[in-house]
């Protein structure tokens, strides 16, 4: 989920929708829906999110929070060539990637071009 889990109840009420990965699939979606918040699945899986995050970090286009757990998660990501020949990025077995997925999702959303319709 790309929005902070630390938002208080007042801030949550102002939200109309959230976007996130398919982790826990329908359970997460239903939890948002029960609070009146729509939940959209990202078109990108977490590996694609990580691959989009890499050039942003390498170019200095993102200033990361001073969060040891986030840094540990980022350092723990591994890039491998998948069976289809495409690169896949994932965390090591037994490690976590929650913060990294959140950051990558926000970066993908911010960088996504917006379509603006104008009347002619």
* Chain segment 25-55, per-residue pLDDT in tens: 788 888 888 888 888 888 899 999 999 999 9
Residues 13 and 59 occupy one common structural domain: no
1 has a pLDDT exceeding 50: no
Instruction: Characterize 78-114 residue by residue with b for buried, 16 or more Cβ atoms within 10 angstroms of its Cβ, and e for exposed.
Output: eeeeeeeeeebbbbeeeeebebbbbbbbbbbeeeeee
Return d(Cα 101, Cα 109) in angstroms, integer: 12
pTM for this predicted structure: 0.73
What does the mean pLDDT of the chain come to?
A: 82
Per-residue pLDDT reduced to its tens digit, 74-91: 999 999 998 889 999 999
Domain range for 95 is 46-111
Residue-level length of the chain: 120
Residues 53 and 106 occupy one common structural domain: yes
Instruction: Tell me the two tokens of residue 93.
Output: 């077995």
Domain count, the chain: 2
Question: Residue 71 domain-assigned?
Answer: yes
Q: Which residue has the higher pLDDT, 112 or 93?
A: 93
């Amino acid at each position: 989920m790309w929005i902070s889990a630390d938002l208080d109840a007042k801030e949550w009420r102002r939200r109309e929708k959230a976007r996130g990965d398919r982790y826990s699939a329908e359970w997460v979606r239903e939890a948002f829906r029960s609070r009146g918040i729509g939940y959209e699945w990202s078109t990108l899986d977490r590996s694609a999110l990580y691959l989009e995050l890499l050039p942003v970090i390498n170019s200095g286009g993102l200033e990361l929070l001073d969060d040891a757990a986030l840094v540990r998660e980022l350092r723990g990501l591994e890039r491998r060539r998948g069976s289809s020949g495409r690169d896949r990025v994932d965390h090591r077995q037994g490690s976590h990637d929650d913060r990294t997925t959140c950051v990558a999702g926000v970066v993908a959303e911010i960088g996504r071009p917006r379509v603006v319709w104008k009347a002619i």
